[in-house]
Amino acid sequence: MADSHGKHARSEVEAEADGALARLALRFTAFTEKWLPDAFGFVLVGTFVVLLFGLVTGEPLLKRPDDPAATKGYGLVDAWGIGFWSLITFTLQMVMIIIGGYAVATSGPVARLITRLARIPKNPRTAVAFVAAVAMPASYLNWAFSLIFAAILAREVARNVPKADYRALGAMAFLGLGTVWAQGLSGSAALQVASASSSPPPVQEVIKASGHASGLIPLSDTIFTWQAIVATLIVYVVGVGMAWFIAPGEGNSRTAEHLGIELKPLVGRGSPYNGQRLETRRPGDWLEHSPLFSLLIVLLGVVYLVRYFSGKSFFNALDLNTINLILFLLALLLQWRPWRMARAVRDGAPAAAGVLLQFPLYGGIFGMIAYTGISGRLAGWLVHASNQFLFPPLVAIYSCVLGIFVPSGGSKWVIEAPYVLQAANELKVDAGWMVVVYDLGEASANLLQPFWMLPTLAILGLKARDIMGYTFTMFLACFPAALIAVTLLAPHVTS
């Protein structure tokens, strides 16, 4: 009895020692664990939230425009059906980028790098902050790679610091997708407006009206402006600081062991890959074991990429297909032997299961917003409620809200760009800065809905409700920091 009373007293003291932010994160996490559905349930509910919103705002339920080539004027049901498979190409691209990222991250050289990094933090609080500090720069370089890299890093950190809260580590592994990814080298909107082949003609016409005669906005006027870099650094510092403060102490942590998750070493003894080799008893086995043909494929791909990028701006020519090819070739090279590559793809495939299941439904949500009057109606409200000073933060808020229902930076930019840039022209706000504003607002939505969490969650063995209390707490700090940054740093221009 005395021992039980002592443990209870220690738990209360530890809870107080955690601080207000850590206690807030724990309360949010307790709520999400009890009340939030899994990611699939979230998209099911989201579908009918958008449907009801459309009905309440006057959208017809059943309607087809006279012109079969029209992209507006559909009823909600017809728009949902048209949109259902609209992301099918994007779905396969995402599946390949997840599996390719997994194959790179689990290769010997990268696995050894992760193992070394995971030894740096020594206690639960520094472990959580460290994962956040690494995950955000990784997402700045490439968001898809960071989803896998940071998740594997979080697992290895949890193995080295077993008393760290596993849920908090999982949330921090995803943090880059909710903060700085769109400001980085793989940001969809910035890459689209910098490339004639990626930016739709209507968007290019609006950009021409803003003063860019080519109809394009180079990266030097969007993510590489000093204002964009400063805004990104502000969000990064706030994110790492919050990660430090919300990490619970040992008395309130739920470790991987508490959650029934087994953490095997990434490399060395006990690793799932340790000691596994193919026996080369038959001549045919040699093909799977020899790196010869892997190297030949890599050589073939490198020659193609050199020719593809020749005479082009690297970042302007970079698209999802090219990123996937680079990841595939890099994975082949790092895995070295064909049988290792095949194993990595097989082991990484489950991480893409949620994407295959949910992307069509998100396509339906996209359709209900894009092919009806919902997006235009929302834009009209936005323009009427803003002025030159308020327009950037209002667009950031709008992009965040819309991102909850259309969680694709590239697809959502196509929806927003025409009317957002047109309104920016009317209000004398720089078009390049509005891309930055969109990026920061759009990324923040990922902290509120589980769509992009799926690959990370699959690797960690967690569910969305396990980490969304922490991601919501991070949102309460990172999103206001982004709003302040886009408001105070906005380079207003005049015609």
Structural domain range at position 33:
16-63+72-269+283-488
How far apart CA 110 and CA 104 sit, in angstroms, is: 7
Of 36 and 26, more confident: 26
Q: Tell me: the pLDDT tens digits for 37-86? A: 777 887 888 899 989 999 999 999 999 987 777 778 899 999 999 889 88
Tokens 């070295």 -> residue: 336
275 CB burial (10 A radius; 0-12, 13-18, 19+): exposed
In a domain, 5, yes or no: no
Does the residue 494 lie in any domain? no
- Tally of domains within the chain: 1
Question: What separation in angstroms does the CA of 154 have from each of 28, 137, 346, 407, 490?
Answer: 21, 15, 21, 24, 36
Average pLDDT over residues 341-360: 87
pLDDT number for residue 350 = 85
Residue 198 lies in a domain: yes
Residue 299 has pLDDT above 90, yes or no: yes
Q: Would the pLDDT of 13 be above 70? A: no
Question: How far apart, in whole angstroms, are the C-alpha atoms of residue 401 and residue 2?
Answer: 51
CB 62 within 8 A of CB 379: no
Q: CB under 8 Å to 390, separation ≥6 — which residues? A: none
Domain assignment present for 392 = yes
Rounded Cα distance between 472 and 478, Å, is 10
167 vs 472: CA distance, rounded Å: 13
Say how far apart CA 348 and CA 354 lie, in whole Å: 12
Q: Is 495 inside a domain boundary?
A: no
Contact 176, 135 (CB under 8 A): yes
pLDDT surpassing 60 at residue 7? no
Can you tell me the distance from the alpha carbon of 366 to that of 69, in angstroms, rounded to the nearest whole number? 18
Nearest to 331 by CA among 13, 101, 64: 101
Length of the chain: 495
Whether 1 maps to a domain, the answer reads no
Q: Is residue 6 part of a domain?
A: no
- The pLDDT tens digits of the residues spanning 177-204 come to 999 999 998 888 888 888 776 677 778 8
Q: Looking at the domain assignment, is residue 275 inside a domain?
A: no
